[in-house]
Amino acid sequence: MSTLRLDNVGFTYQKGMPDEKTAVSGVSLTFEEGDFVGIIGHTGSGKSTLIQMLNGLLKPTTGSVYIDGDDIWDDKSKLREKRFKVGLVLQYPEYQLFEETVRKDIAFGPKNLGLSDEEIDSRVREAAGFLRIPEKLLDRSPFDLSGGEKRRAAIAGVLAMRPEVLVLDEPTAGLDPRGRRDILDVIKNYHEAEKKTVILVSHSMDDVARYANKVLVMNNGTLLYYDSVGEVFKHALELRETGLNIPTVTGILLTLRERGLDVDTDIYTPAAAAQTITDAFRGISG
């Protein structure tokens, strides 16, 4: 069992200076093992700051972050050890590639864990397998890969550390629709196979609705909603008022209701939407 708990966590940049800026304040929540959580919010809503506190890259200015019940900042000498439990993939992770071959680059994390050569090798294979990186690419230079391949290699570098919790900050940014679908499918497969917690920061409500089972909505540095996908998208109107996107399907249904069609609007998947629209028309004709 591995849980990640935040207790009244806040972060202020440049604390004490005239230009101090509070990015996150008063966030308390628990990421349960095995959940697939989508984090959404505007640019500047504190998403990136929040996830950098999850693995101790940033130290919260108020509150604490607990992994398996231990405050990660309790003992600074153990911080690195605790950090290994939370694998963080930052935005544009391909910019972190530096080794001569893809294989060596994926092995960088496991090597830092101090594993044996055989163990490192098997982890590299495993991670490359999850990310669908063909064997022949492993001995190429990471700088010769295409954009999408680079990104997958970089994510493999974090997965090879076998984190208990995998956090991804906009892993699909700057990719074409097919590249996006590929990356998200890979993450979904990993989640289903390993049953480990996945936290996905995304701009796209459609992606979150499709892949996550829980949604966390950040607004102006505070927690607005944190609940199952269905519950959060029941607040579609409020979400829209704060200027956030809602899933395309929910948007269509809201418009239909405004135009007088009696459809259910707490829906975020195309199949269920088709059903409620059909039912509504049956109701009219019947």
Partner 1 sequence: MRDITLGQYINGDSVIHRLDPRVRLILTLAYIVILFMFNTLLQMVLALVMILLAYALVKIPVKMLLKSLKPIIPIILFTSVLNMFFIKGDVVFSFWKIAVTKQGLYYAAMMSLRVICLLAGSSLLTYTSTPIQLTSALESLFKPLSKLGLPVNDLAMMMTIALRFIPTLLEETDKIMAAQKSRGANLDTGNFIQRAKALTPILIPLFVSAFRRADELALAMECRCYNGGEGRTRLNALKIRRLDYIAVAVFTVCCVLLFMAGRLAV
Residues near partner 1, by CB under 8 A = 18, 52, 55, 57, 80, 83-84, 87-91, 93, 95-98, 108-109, 112-113, 143, 157-158, 161
| C-alpha neighbours within 13 Å on the C-beta side of residue 153 | 32
State in angstroms the smallest separation of the CB of 120 from partner 1: 12
Q: Between 123 and 234, whose beta carbon lies closer to partner 1?
A: 123
State in angstroms the smallest separation of the CB of 117 from partner 1: 17
Q: Between 151 and 234, whose beta carbon lies closer to partner 1?
A: 151
State in angstroms the smallest separation of the CB of 109 from partner 1: 4
Q: Are 93 and 159 in contact (CB under 8 A)?
A: no
State in angstroms the smallest separation of the CB of 57 from partner 1: 5
State in angstroms the smallest separation of the CB of 209 from partner 1: 28
Q: Between 52 and 197, whose beta carbon lies closer to partner 1?
A: 52
Q: Between 53 and 267, whose beta carbon lies closer to partner 1?
A: 53
Q: Between 97 and 209, whose beta carbon lies closer to partner 1?
A: 97
CA dist 154 and 95 (Å) reads 8
Q: Between 19 and 258, whose beta carbon lies closer to partner 1?
A: 19
State in angstroms the smallest separation of the CB of 108 from partner 1: 6
Contacts of 93 (CB under 8 A, 6+ apart): 151, 154, 155, 157, 158, 171
Q: Beta-carbon neighbour count of residue 100 at 10 Å? A: 12
Q: How far is CA 155 from CA 38, 137, 251, in A?
A: 17, 15, 32
Q: Between 13 and 281, whose beta carbon lies closer to partner 1?
A: 13
Q: Between 171 and 247, whose beta carbon lies closer to partner 1?
A: 171
State in angstroms the smallest separation of the CB of 163 from partner 1: 9
The torsion angles phi and psi of 145, rounded to 5 degrees, stand at -80, 165
State in angstroms the smallest separation of the CB of 113 from partner 1: 6
